[in-house]
Amino acid sequence: MLLPWALPVTVERDPWDWLLYAASLCAAITAIVLFLPWSLERRRRPEVRIHWALSLDGDPAKLEDWPADYIPQIIPGQAIYVRVAVHNVGDRASEAALTNFVVPACFDLRRYSGLEAKPDFSGNPTAGLPPDYRVAYFALGLEPWAPGNSFIYPYRLTWSTSSNQDEPLRTRLLFDIADSRFNRSGRRWLPSLLPPLELGHAHAGEPWPPRSRRPRPQRAQAQPRGRVACTRGNRRDVRDLIVLPAPQALAPQKNRRRLLDHPGLARLVNPAARALSGKRRAAKLR
């Protein structure tokens, strides 16, 4: 059976059809133009770099960097100066961030900007000590935090002298920053145009303004890399301290041990103690 040949058919389009085609094309172009900036804006996020500094004698002029592998030792009553700086290394401003500096409740925690202000108390398994994990903390809100800007939080810490510990105690300080724009991983797969970490400078006698640095494509990620604990909406970092026992609490025990270790004194003290206890027992029996 032979099939009939397909013959071309001409379709005539009236002006109304051409008008619909033109309107559809304009709508598609408008949607692409409007959606692309929105998607790029949604991709932009703030990101944080946390930097710690420490002064063991409480003098801000002697502040030094505090790396994560350095665990300083302090004694009760010793006031130390801790400074935490946060830097926005992302490409979007943070508008509603909240910071928390959390220490064990045995510390007398103060802010250098207001020494009379007292901290709040709560429980935290990371910074608290067992069994109740009680902590002292300051919760401060960040102002609009533009990319490339930093905020500094100085604190004074003093371990309570009323603690009756007889061995070194390891404690932990926690800095927490929360923002709804933080992602889960703390990094982005595709690079972004990030502002330079440092602005241009010009010393006395050099021309002003200094040469500006242009943004370069980089991958935004939480810093220091591998140190900041990242979850959705939160970034955390810690530092450890070792609190030694008070020297006056250890001195009597050490002196007593040294005296009794002497063989001559041990022979004199032990028989005398036994004789005294025997006399007391005899007196009770009478």
Q: Does residue 239 lie in a domain region? A: yes
C-beta separation of 82 from 112 below 8 A = no
Burial 20-53 (b: 16+ CB within 10 A, else e): eeeeeeeeeeeeeeeeeeeeeeeebbbbbbbbbb
Q: 273 pLDDT exceeds 60?
A: no
Establish if 9 belongs to a structural domain: no
pLDDT of residue 239: 96
Do 90 and 47 contact (CB within 8 A), yes or no?
A: yes
If we measure between CA atoms, which residue out of 145, 40, 49 comes closest to residue 89? Answer: 49
Query: Cβ neighbours of residue 28 under 8 Å, at least 6 residues apart?
Result: none
User: pLDDT for 110-123, tens place per residue?
Assistant: 998 888 899 999 99
Per-residue pLDDT tens digits for 72-118: 999 999 999 999 999 988 888 887 889 999 999 999 999 988 888 99
Q: What is the CATH number of the domain that holds 90?
A: 2.60.40.10
11: in domain = no
Q: What is the pTM of this model?
A: 0.72
Who wins on pLDDT, 10 or 172?
172
> In this structure, how many other beta carbons lie within 10 angstroms of the beta carbon of residue 236?
19
Residue 224 lies in a domain: yes
| Start-to-end Cα distance in the chain | 140
The answer to whether the peptide bond before residue 46 is cis (omega within 30 degrees of 0) is no
Q: Which helix (H) or strand (E) segment is 138 a member of?
A: strand 134-141
Spatial CA neighbour of 220 closest among 39, 49, 105, 94: 49
Please write the tens of the pLDDT for every residue from 119-148: 999 999 999 999 999 999 999 988 778 888
Flag whether 55 is in a domain: yes
205: left (phi over 0), alpha (psi -120 to 50) or beta: left
Helix axes 247-261, 263-285, angle to 10 degrees: 90
Is 190 contained in some domain? yes
Host domain of residue 228: 46-197+208-247
The reply to whether 38 falls in a domain is no
- Does residue 40 lie in a domain region? no
- What is the pLDDT, as a whole number, of residue 285? 46
pLDDT in tens, 223-233: 888 899 999 99
Counting the structural domains of the chain, the total is 1
